[in-house]
Every structure is written in C-alpha cells, then in structure tokens.
DNA sequence: CCTTAACCGAGACGGTACGTCACGTCTTAGT
DNA sequence: ACTAAGACGTGACGTACCGTCTCGGTTAAGG
C-alpha cells in the first residue's frame, strides 16, 4: 500500500546462514526451558535470536517444527551408551542418565517441556518417537553384550526393559512429582532383572 | 446500542447452578477431547455451554482450574482396584486399566492431554500428583492381599512396582508411539515379578 | 496458547465511547492529510488515537469504512450554500468554495485524498456520491432563487451546471496540476451562464 | 546450499528485452485494471510477466514509475482529435471520447485507476498532467479551426472550455457515480457554448 | 576464440502492516 | 446475588509485499 517507505535495510552482510541457525536454535531452547512449550512464542524466538519473525516462518512453518529442529540441531540430546562390564551396571547407568536428563537443569527443562508437549503437538510426538527409537537402537548393544556374557536369556525384549526403567523415572519425576531416592535406580534395575516376588503365581 | 435486544437474558429457568455446572464440565471435556488441551479455549467452552465467558472466569480463574474441576466433577477418572485372587492377575488388571485409560477414546484424549500438560501447568501437575497418590493408596490393597497370601516379600515397594508398570505403558503409548501388543501387560508384569535375567550380576 | 500471561489491563475507566470516537476520527483525518490515503494505516490510527488496533477493527472492518466514518463524523465537510442575491454571485461563491476545499490545507489534503481514493475503494466512492448528492440537494436552492428572480429558464439542469463548474476545478487543480488564476471562478461561471461562442452552430 | 540446482537460470532465448518489456507492461496494466492501483503489487507483476521481481526494481524504482512507463509504453491513451466541420461537433466528439475513456472497459479501469491514484502518487500526477497538457496542445487545433470559421471569439480560453467539459464527465462518472444520459455530451457542449442563463446578471 | 560486461533468475533477508483470535478485565443492566 | 451482554487493552498469530542484497549462470560484444 505504501509507495516508498524509507528505503530500509537489506541484508546485514552475514557470512553464513549456519550461524544464524545456531542462534535461532539456542534462543528456541532457552525460551522453551524458561517458559515451557506454550509460553514459547515465535515472536519471542525472533526477538531473542535477532532475526525477523518472517525468517522463522520461512523455514519452519509451525512452532513444533521449529522446536523439533532446534532439539535435533543442537546436539543436546546425545547420550552415550555405557559399558560397565555388567548388565546391572549398564542398566543402572542408563537409568541414571534418564534421571539426570529429567532433573538436571537446564537440559531437564527443555527435555521435560518437549516430552510433555509431545502429547499434543504431533510434530514433537514424532520427534520424541524418533528419539526413543534411536536410543533403543543404541541401547541394544547393552543387551547384546549381556547376552554374550550369558547374563540374559536370548528372548528378553530390550524395549520392554527400557520401557519399564525409563517409564518409571518419568512417572516418578514428572507425573508423581515425588523426590527420587538415590537408590531408586539400583532398586528399579534389581526389580526388572530379578523380580520382586519370588513366589507370585 | 443494539437495535434488537429481543428478550435477552436471564437464566433459562434453571433449578440450580448444578445443571449449569454439568453442562460446563461436559462442554469442557468434549472440547478437550476434540481439540486437545491447547485447542481448548475458555470462549469455546462458554459458547458451547451456553454460558457467558465472564461466568467461567468467576469460578475458575484459569483454564487449568476449569479442566481440573471438570475432570473431577465428571467422575471419569474413577478406577476400581481389581481383586482377582492372585497378585499377577491383579497387576495385569491394573496395567490393562492404565492401557485403556491411555488408549480408549474419548477419555484417553482427555487423560493424555491433561497428563501431558502437567509438565508445565502447575495446577495440573498437582492434580496429577494427587491422582496418582490417591491411586497408590488404593492399589496398596493389592499388595497387602498379596503379602497376606505369601506371594510377596514384606519389603517390596508398591510405588516402585507401579512406577515401573504404569510408566512403561506411558512411555510405550505416548512417547514411543508404538502399538501395544496384547500380551504386553502380561509380559510387563512377569518381568517385574520374576525378573528378566536369572543370571545377571 | 498461553496459560496465564500476566493479568493485564482491562478497561481504562472511560466515561463514554463518544470521546474515543472523536479521537479516533481526528487521528484518522490527521493521518489522512499527512500521509495520504495509502500511507494511512490502521495501526497508525490506533497508535495516535491511543486506542487498540483491535478496537478499530471491531467497529470499522476496513480502512475505507473508517475513513468514511471519520469524514462524516467530523463535520469537516459541511459547506454553506451562499445567497448573494444573484445567480452569478451564488455560483461564483460555490466555485470558490470548491476551490478552497481542494486547495486550502489541511482540509484539502483530506478531501483530495478521499476523493482520489474513491476511484478504487467502493466504500469511499459511496461516501463521495452521497456527499455530492447531498450538496446538490442544497445547491438546488440557488437555482430555485435564480428561477424566481427570472434569471434562469425553468428547464436548466442544476446537476449539469454544477458538474461543469466543480468538475472544471477538480480537473484543473488535481489532474492538470496548473495554478488557478484568481479570475478562474468568474470566467468559469460566465462561460456556463452565457456561453463562450455566440456564433457556434 | 542447494541440493538440486538443475540448470537454472539465464535468459529464455529472447531476441530483445523489448518483448519482455511488452509483457511487463501488459501484466502491469492488466493487474491495474483488475485490482486497482493499490491492489497492484510488484510481485504480482513479476509473477504474471514471468520475470523476477529484482528485474522490475532494476528498471523502475517505484510502482508509480512502472505504471507510468506502462501507460506510456503501451499506446492505450492515444486519442485522435476530431474534425467534424463544426465546433459543436468537434467538442461533442471530444466529450464522447472522454466518456468512453472513462466508462468503456477494460481501458476505463486502467485510466480511472491511474487518474484516481494521481492524487497521491506524484509520479502519476506528473504523468497525468503531461497527458492533459499534451491533449490540450492537440485540442488547440479544434479551437483554431473554429476561430477560422468565425464560430468563436479570439479570446476564448480553450483550457477553460476543456476543463469544464472533461471535468464534468469525470465528476459525473467517477465522483457522483450517476449514469450518463446519452444526450449529456450534447447538453454539456451546448451549455458551454451558448450558456444556460440568457438573463443572468 | 575467448574474455568481459551486462543482464537476469533465484533466493534469502529485515521490515511494516495486515486482519484475526483468544485472553482476561471491566462496566452496565437485568432477573 | 448472580449473570448476560459487550466493550476494551493486550499479545501473538500467520501472511503478504516491500525493497535490498548476494550469488551464479547465460548471453552478446569486442578484442
């Protein structure tokens, strides 16, 4: 509608889009941790990243896509698979990883917010599913080693084991909101490995 | 200001505010199921319940409070504690309850949305924590009966067992987004009761 | 999406909407004069009037409707119909009114912008048509008095006369962009009253 | 950065830039007629003309300049000066030209939009002034012939006469939005030639 | 023939304004 | 006493064009 506003800016002379992406992702995750997924606004990200809102929409059509890209793009979710020499040790280490992922700020804020939001943002749900699928693939090594050591029957379902262990932590920390005793990982692993009820029918 | 007031307002011939509350809760839960927690708007509830927006804000200051009240007011979350005669049977029944709570629409939409939202809405987090605490109190009976039957050592932690079982279902259904095999409850219960690794160190 | 932003403002305690309307109309016309119709933005009006953009859209769905309401609401277009005692005098006075309407700032900016915009904004076109129709009704008195004085045949078409006179001024001032000699009104009126070509066939 | 450059750009095998110019002007005028001056966007022109936006800006820095160039470049505004043998006939023909210019689509849309926009786009105002000045120069011939025939006093001002006649049509058609009777041109010419008020003082 | 300048397409970007939605607050009336 | 009606300020949405800029590739002219 305007004829000739005032001959604005133009490009800033950036060297790469990569740097901008980094700043965008950082801003996204920071705000996600601060405000939660719903408090996260595209305008806020744009402001904090020093980028125009339009630019964000040009690359990521929805908030979910942006968050997903940020979660992936910033390698904050990369976890090592432990190798302690025993199944029990490996599993306890894995559980402790989960615990720290869900409780040690600042990463925990991001992770909890993102996983919580996965219940309603399909994009994030996909991201979460991918994340867990990928994790499972790598956790498989733990079970392979255990089987090689003869610690585990061949027909054990690693997915079930990890569901039980990681799910317990999520439920305890996020849903039940109860403090986690230091021996919780050991007890959980013990229960899953050896059972709790020697005599149950 | 209006040209045509047309015999406006007033109550519609109510007997009590109770009926209105019912309609409000129903509207809330319907919309929650339809649109998810975020798609749920106070204005939408007001419109659907035939009630003024102001009225809603008078009673429930936030969306979270309204949803909480609706979930409690309509007894959609009441679960029976099973008594099958064996610990295994009881636990499997409990797991199946959780599965159906998280997968059978429309209640599942409500529950998943609400529990997912608990990660950031403190009101809902409290409600969820209360819900699980209350459940645990009642699930205690299952473990008491099992102990009386001699199926279970006295030092077993019911909270841990339920964390493992219910957490596994949540992780599998909501986060991992993978289909749940029919024997999943049985396998999960077996793992927790008897363990998966007879020889693990 | 937000749960509970920060308990914002609410109404400011105004006494009447009428005062606000006045401020809105003033802001609209000021900006119209300053920036022209296209430079006029709803956000600009909102800012200057100390009113929220949403409020403007609530009342006037388009920019055209807003400008129209402002032009009507602020009585800046009310012109007196002269009565000098002679048809020539009355018509010259009318032409001079038109000249000043189109050339004397700041009103001229508003009027020219609005009439120019009438070519594409149907709302404004209607407003302009109404304006001219209304004017014609009142100018009729000039012709009635002239007929009563015997200065004019009964079959003269006042609309044609006013088309010629006012149209000439518009063409000269706005489209031809040429300066208007002081005797232009007199010459124009003389031409329309007595003709320019005594012998033309 | 791109995965698939796919033998992009370059010229399409044109012979001259002249053909492209033609397409650009056509696109401009078509869109001007369709959407009006304000609905006309540079991006739209680029899209329709199959030309990059950048290219347009390279040649015409503003929308006004583009429209102006298009109006001139496409010879849609060239009008013949009539020679019917009498002043009355010539003037009526001129008025009819104006009428058709302003009412016969599709040219009328372009012309009306452009002249209407002249009130605020200085570039267009200049173009309009030039157009009318040029027309006047050529209309002078009509008056010269009339003077030679003795139909007209020597001191008649052709500009005033054309102001009155063309202005009346503009006012009637564009601003007053009233239908134009078939005898309007004749009546307008008669009024300007012979006057309307034989006895006015 | 090869180089060089002109021109163009492609595309990213910062920026303004758009028109819309829902929020939560408030006032005025009405039952 | 409670409520309907409805206006408002506020924040954010997602979109459309603006006008600028850089990059890379094609074409035509001139040595």
pLDDT recorded at residue D1:
34
Domains of chain D and any CATH numbers: 17-73 (1.10.10.60), 87-194 (1.10.357.10)
pLDDT recorded at residue A25:
95
Do residue C120 and residue D116 have CB atoms under 8 angstroms apart?
Answer: yes
Among residues B113, B160, B144, the alpha carbon closest in space to that of A178 is found at: B160
Which of the four pLDDT bands, split at 50, 70 and 90, describes residue A159?
Answer: very high
pLDDT recorded at residue A149:
93
Q: Assess A122–D contact: CB distance below 8 Å, yes or no.
A: no
Return mean pLDDT, chain A.
87
Instruction: Convert the pLDDT of each residue in D84-132 to its tens digit.
Output: 999 999 999 999 999 999 998 777 888 888 898 888 777 788 889 999 9
Q: Assess D121–A contact: CB distance below 8 Å, yes or no.
A: yes
Return mean pLDDT, chain C.
86
pLDDT recorded at residue B16:
52
Q: Which of A1, A2, A4 to mutate: most D Cβ within 10 Å? A: A4
D199 touches strand F (CB under 7 A): no
- Percent of chain B's residues with pLDDT above 70: 86
Among residues B148, C76, B53, the alpha carbon closest in space to that of A200 is found at: B148
Chains B, D in contact: 3+ Cβ pairs under 8 A?
Answer: no
Residue D11 CA and nucleotide E7 C1' are separated, in Å, by 9
pLDDT recorded at residue B184:
97
Instruction: Convert the pLDDT of each residue in C15-70 to its tens digit.
Output: 456 778 889 999 999 998 888 787 899 999 999 999 999 999 999 999 888 988 99
How far lies B104's CA from each of B50, B98, D195, in Å? Answer: 29, 10, 90
Q: Which residue has the tokens 């899953």?
A: A192
Neighbours of B170 (CB within 10 A): 25
Mean local confidence (pLDDT), B110-117: 83
- Report cis status (omega within 30 of 0) of the bond before D106: yes
Q: Is the pLDDT of residue B155 over 90?
A: no
State how far the Cα of A69 lies from the Cα of A73, in Å rounded to an integer.
6
Which bases of chain F are contacted by protein, using any atom under 7 A from a CB? 2-22, 24-27
Residue nearest to nucleotide F23 (CA to C1'): D1
Instruction: Convert the pLDDT of each residue in C57-114 to its tens digit.
Output: 999 999 888 988 998 887 666 778 999 999 999 999 999 999 999 998 767 888 888 8
Which of the four pLDDT bands, split at 50, 70 and 90, describes residue A61?
Answer: very high
pLDDT recorded at residue B63:
83
Mean local confidence (pLDDT), D181-188: 97
Residue B65 CA and nucleotide F16 C1' are separated, in Å, by 39
Query: For the ranges A76-80, A171-175, C139-143, C168-172, which has the lowest average pLDDT?
Result: A76-80
pLDDT recorded at residue B11:
37
Angle between helices D158-170 and D87-103 (to 10 degrees): 40
Among residues D63, D73, D71, the alpha carbon closest in space to that of D42 is found at: D63
pLDDT recorded at residue C9:
41
pLDDT recorded at residue A6:
40
* Phi (first) and psi of residue A76, to 5 degrees: -80, -5
Among residues B180, B175, B136, B126, the alpha carbon closest in space to that of B158 is found at: B136
Query: For the ranges A61-70, A98-107, A156-165, D8-17, which has the lowest average pLDDT?
Result: D8-17
Query: For the ranges A141-145, B47-51, C110-114, C135-139, which has the lowest average pLDDT?
Result: C110-114
Strongest mean pLDDT among B15-29, B78-92, C116-130: B78-92
Q: Which nucleotide is nearest to A58 (CA to C1')?
A: E12
Q: Is the pLDDT of residue B48 over 80?
A: yes
């Amino acid at each position: 509608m305007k004829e000739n506003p005032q001959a604005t800016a133009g490009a800033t002379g950036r060297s790469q889009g990569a740097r901008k992406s980094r700043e965008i992702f950082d801003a996204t995750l920071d705000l996600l941790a601060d405000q939660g997924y719903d408090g996260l606004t595209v305008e806020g990200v744009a402001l904090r990243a020093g980028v125009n809102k339009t630019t964000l929409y040009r690359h990521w059509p929805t908030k979910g896509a942006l968050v997903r890209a940020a979660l992936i793009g910033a390698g904050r979710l990369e976890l090592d698979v432990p190798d302690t020499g025993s199944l029990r040790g490996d599993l306890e280490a894995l559980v402790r990883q989960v615990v720290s992922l869900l409780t040690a700020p600042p990463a925990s804020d991001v992770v909890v917010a993102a996983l919580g939001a996965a219940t309603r943002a399909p994009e994030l749900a996909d991201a979460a599913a991918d994340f867990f699928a990928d994790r499972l693939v790598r956790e498989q090594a733990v079970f392979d080693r255990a089987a090689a050591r003869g610690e585990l029957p061949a027909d054990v379902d690693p997915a079930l084991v990890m569901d039980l262990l990681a799910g317990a932590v999520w439920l305890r920390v996020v849903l039940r909101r109860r403090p986690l005793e230091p021996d919780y990982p050991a007890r959980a692993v013990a229960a899953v490995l050896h059972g709790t009820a020697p005599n149950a029918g």
